[in-house]
């Protein structure tokens, strides 16, 4: 296993999120956005003022991506929404389509846009302990050739996570975080149709520290993924070799994203578990900034 690299984790927001997820750097605002799923919150940290702003969402909010019309395209509980934060602290929300959940106790989980601007996101059953393989990966695009509905890309998953796309957009990454799976796969991704094909195992995380959670891609095409339960963020080369791990002062890092003016900062959200002693990780649920030693790529906004 690769050694743990030295990189001081700076706490930028002591947000104490029950489940902090989906960090996205918005260059136009020099700000980091993320979500607190159970609290139904969209969160923003302003890198200039160092202030944090919160907006309440109508349902549990799980994943966001920038929208070319302003605001965010987002996966909530019942479907895909367009969210527009308002200066007065309110949030304008419009549901774009309904999620065809396999059962009623589900919500969206990890998601982002592919390099062409389609919104790709996964669903999950709320109670992970059920180990229900009812989750799916869906794609959303709205133009003259496609109706305003979700397209099922993959199914049979339990807790889909780690969705990411190679710099050229032709490889899709996907993980399943459930303790019984703990795997990361790659797919050939048809950029014209938005279809993943030819799945193969990229990394079996079972012998490595942490369960695979949210992820990001750097400029070299390397895949960074949070090792949930291990307090680590792992960097894998495109060949699937673990070559670096960065530590954070919490056990459950949830998702990472590149940001900052040069995209050379790695921001990490985390989880604050309820009902357990947190004396050894008082910053659980916070958002951290690390120096990864490389740069990332800007997130593609929803534009279809």
Q: Classify domain 4-290 by CATH number.
A: 2.120.10.30
Residue 144 has pLDDT above 50, yes or no: no
pLDDT of residue 190: 97
Token look-up 């040069």 returns 262
d(CA 63, CA 257): 13
pLDDT-derived band at 87, boundaries 50, 70, 90: confident
Residue 235 has pLDDT above 60, yes or no: yes
**Phi first, then psi: what are they for 128, rounded to 5°?**
-60, -30
pLDDT of residue 203: 98
Q: Determine the average pLDDT of the residues in 168-189.
A: 98
* In the chain, where the domains are located: 4-290
pLDDT-derived band at 188, boundaries 50, 70, 90: very high
Per-residue model confidence as pLDDT tens digits over 263-287: 999 999 999 999 889 999 999 999 9
Residue 129 has pLDDT above 90, yes or no: yes
pLDDT of residue 142: 73
Token look-up 């605001």 returns 71
27-31, 47-51, 67-71, 86-90: least confidently modelled range? 86-90
Token look-up 């990780």 returns 281
CA angle 100, 102, 106 (to 5 degrees): 85
Catalytic residue among 213, 220, 264, 280: 213
Q: Determine the average pLDDT of the residues in 118-124.
A: 97
Q: What is the mean pLDDT of the chain?
A: 95
> Exposed e or buried b for every residue in 207-220, given b needs 16+ CB within 10 A?
ebebbbbbbbbbee
In the annotation, is 127 catalytic? no
């Amino acid at each position: 296993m690769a050694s743990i690299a030295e990189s001081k984790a700076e706490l930028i927001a002591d947000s104490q999120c029950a489940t902090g997820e989906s960090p996205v750097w918005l260059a136009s605002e020099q700000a980091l956005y993320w979500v607190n799923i159970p609290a139904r919150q969209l969160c923003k940290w302003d890198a200039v003022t160092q202030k944090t702003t919160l907006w309440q969402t109508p349902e549990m909010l799980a994943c966001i991506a920038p929208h070319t019309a302003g605001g965010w395209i987002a996966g909530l509980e019942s479907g895909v929404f367009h969210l527009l934060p308002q200066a007065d602290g309110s949030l304008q929300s419009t549901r774009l389509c309904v999620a065809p959940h396999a059962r009623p106790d589900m919500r969206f989980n990890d998601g982002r846009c592919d390099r062409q601007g389609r919104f790709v996101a996964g669903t999950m059953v709320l109670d992970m302990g059920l180990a229900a393989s009812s989750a799916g990966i869906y794609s959303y695009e709205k133009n003259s050739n496609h109706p305003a509905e979700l397209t099922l890309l993959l199914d049979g998953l339990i807790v889909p996570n780690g969705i990411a796309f190679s710099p050229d957009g032709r490889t899709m990454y996907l993980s399943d975080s459930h303790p019984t799976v703990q795997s990361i796969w790659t797919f050939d991704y048809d950029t014209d149709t938005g279809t993943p094909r030819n799945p193969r195992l990229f990394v079996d995380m079972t012998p490595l520290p942490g369960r695979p959670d949210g992820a990001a891609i750097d400029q070299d095409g390397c895949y960074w993924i949070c090792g949930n339960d291990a307090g680590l963020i792992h960097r894998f080369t495109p060949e699937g070799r673990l070559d670096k791990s960065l530590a954070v002062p919490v056990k459950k890092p949830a998702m990472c994203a590149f940001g900052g003016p040069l995209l050379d900062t790695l921001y990490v959200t985390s989880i604050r578990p309820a009902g357990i002693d947190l004396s050894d990780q008082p910053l659980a649920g916070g958002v951290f900034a690390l120096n990864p030693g490389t740069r990332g790529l800007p997130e593609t906004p929803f534009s279809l």
